[in-house]
């Protein structure tokens, strides 16, 4: 049990096994006692799971009741049957919640699925499992952990975080869970993320706020660059709270939301399939943040860079050359590169450095830091990715067999 997680008022959680997976938890519920506002950012893949189209049709959603999540089956590329099954999941959840005194319609429920593509959902398991998971809903750390565990697939570790703060004499909390270890590529890049808060977020501002946060967190991570069919980040927020109207309070909330989202986002490539290292790539000096992000992303998606880090090889030429084919114009003579705090390339020329010491700094730490300056512009961006190991190849070569 995780005793340190802080939970917002008015939310309940549960997770359990319903038979989609042989033994591990595979069904989760996140429910709000008083209908709230719901916002979502979803995959940009044209091949989408049924749940993505369902959620998009609802977002932003006033009067949301909650989210039902299954793992082990993506319900993607499953045709009309998959669409009907997704709708049925929402209806079963709504009926089950009504049975415990929370009147709910199917269109008040978001649905999330994750797992293997191209297989129909085992509806008999869900028809029995959803009412059962609803009966286990609680507002405590153990229930939150159970839900966070139930959304995982190939993850080694659950990914959770929370923040609490004061506005005047009122206390507010954000709690969040995520999953993702493979098929992680930007736009979206989280696989699944759920954020819940008792801070009031109005429907007219929440969607744009969440998009800004996602663009600077979950859309800045990758493992192998494969954008999933099921990626989604959903925010459930209270509809109102007395006295919380100021722009300053909402700006502060967005800062906490971004901080929390970056913390969660970084946990995904850290837990990347077969990964030994988290790689943080910071690019400075471009003419715009967009240009910096494009360079950082290109470096992050280079298999040569990723394998160099896996082997603790400070082969910095791979990094500079990746920046060079990013499509962003910059002056090589104004370009400098630092690896784990050691300058290896400065203003277009190599710098003598202790190769063994830098190699050791990569090998002996989880985090590898790449800092690239490409000029004097004000643009900047950070991207997080994982290294590429033999274990990644083995795991994905045998994923469904």
Distance (Å, whole) CA 56 – CA 401: 33
Note whether 44 and 87 are same-domain residues: yes
- Give the list of residues 6+ apart from residue 67 with CB closer than 8 angstroms, or none: 28, 29, 30, 109, 110, 111, 112, 194, 234, 236
pLDDT at 1 > cutoff 50: no
pLDDT tens by residue, 172-220 = 999 999 998 776 676 665 579 999 999 999 888 899 999 999 999 999 9
295, 332 contact by CB (below 8 A): no
Neighbours of 216 (CB within 10 A): 17
Instruction: For residues 286 and 296, give the distance between their C-alpha atoms in angstroms, rounded to a whole number.
Output: 11
Determine whether 190 is an active site residue: yes
Domain count, the chain: 2
Is 190 a member of any domain? yes
pLDDT, tens digit, 9 for 90 and up, residues 135-158 = 999 999 999 999 999 999 888 899
The alpha carbon of residue 71 and the mean position of all alpha carbons in its chain are separated, in whole angstroms, by 15
Looking at the fold, whether 325 and 211 belong to one and the same domain comes out as no
pLDDT at residue 241, as a whole number: 64
Range of the domain at 385: 278-397
CATH number at residue 369: 3.10.20.340
Q: Answer whether residue 1 is part of any domain.
A: no
Share of the chain above pLDDT 70, in %: 95
299 shares a domain with 233: no
Same domain, 245 and 291: no
* pLDDT over threshold 80, residue 353: yes
Examine the domain organization and report whether 149 and 290 are in the same domain.
no
3 state SS of 363: helix
Same domain, residue pair 261 and 284: no
Write down the catalytic residue from 43, 114, 190, 382: 190
| Per-residue pLDDT tens digits for 212-233 | 999 999 999 887 777 788 999 9
Are 194 and 154 in the same domain?
Answer: yes
Are 242 and 310 members of one domain? no
CA 276, CA 311: separation in Å to the nearest integer?
10
Same domain, 245 and 285: no
3-class DSSP string for 44-97: CCCCCEHHHHHHHHHCCEEEEEEEEEEEEECCECCHHHHHHHHHHHHHHHHHHH
CATH of the domain at 157: 3.60.70.12
Of 67, 65, 73, the C-alpha closest to 26 is 73
pLDDT band at 399 (very low <50, low <70, confident <90, very high): low
The answer to the question of residue 2 being in a domain is no
Q: In the listed set 270, 289, 319, which residue is the last one of a domain according to the structure?
A: 270
Indicate whether 247 and 288 sit together in one domain: no
């Amino acid at each position: 049990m995780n005793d340190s997680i802080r939970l917002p008022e008015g939310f309940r959680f549960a997770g359990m096994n319903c038979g989609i997976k042989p033994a591990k938890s595979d069904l989760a519920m996140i429910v709000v006692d008083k209908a709230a506002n719901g916002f979502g950012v979803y995959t940009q893949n044209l091949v989408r799971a049924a749940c993505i189209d369902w959620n998009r049709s609802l977002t932003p959603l006033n009067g949301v009741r909650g989210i039902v999540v299954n793992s082990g089956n993506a319900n993607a590329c499953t045709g009309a049957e998959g669409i009907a099954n997704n709708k049925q999941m929402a209806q079963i959840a709504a009926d089950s919640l009504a049975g415990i005194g929370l009147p709910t319609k199917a269109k008040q429920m978001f649905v999330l699925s994750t797992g293997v593509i191209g297989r129909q959902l085992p509806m008999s398991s869900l028809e029995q499992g959803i009412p059962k998971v609803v009966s286990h809903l609680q507002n405590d750390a153990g229930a939150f952990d159970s839900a966070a565990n139930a959304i995982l697939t190939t993850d080694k570790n659950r990914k959770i975080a929370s923040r609490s703060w004061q506005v005047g004499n009122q206390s507010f909390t954000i709690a969040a869970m995520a999953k993702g270890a493979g098929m992680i590529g930007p736009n979206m890049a989280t696989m699944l993320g759920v954020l819940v808060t008792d801070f009031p977020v109005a429907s007219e501002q929440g969607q744009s706020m969440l998009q800004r946060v996602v663009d600077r967190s979950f859309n800045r991570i990758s493992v192998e660059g494969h954008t999933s069919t099921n990626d989604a980040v959903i925010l459930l927020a209270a509809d109102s709270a007395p006295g919380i109207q100021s722009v300053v309070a909402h700006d502060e909330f967005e800062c906490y939301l971004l901080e929390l989202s970056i913390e969660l986002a970084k946990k995904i490539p850290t837990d990347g399939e077969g990964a030994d290292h988290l790689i943080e790539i910071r690019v400075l000096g471009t003419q715009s943040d967009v240009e910096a992000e494009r360079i950082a992303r290109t470096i992050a998606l280079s298999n040569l860079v990723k394998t160099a880090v896996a082997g603790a090889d400070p082969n910095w030429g791979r990094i500079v050359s990746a920046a060079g084919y990013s499509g962003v114009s910059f002056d090589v003579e104004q370009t400098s590169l630092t690896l784990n705090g050691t300058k290896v390339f400065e203003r277009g020329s190599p710098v003598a450095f202790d190769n063994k010491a830098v190699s050791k700094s990569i090998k002996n730490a989880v985090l590898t830091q790449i800092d690239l300056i490409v000029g004097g512009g004000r643009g900047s961006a950070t991207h997080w990715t994982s290294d590429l190991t033999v274990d990644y190849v083995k795991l994905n070569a045998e994923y469904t067999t």
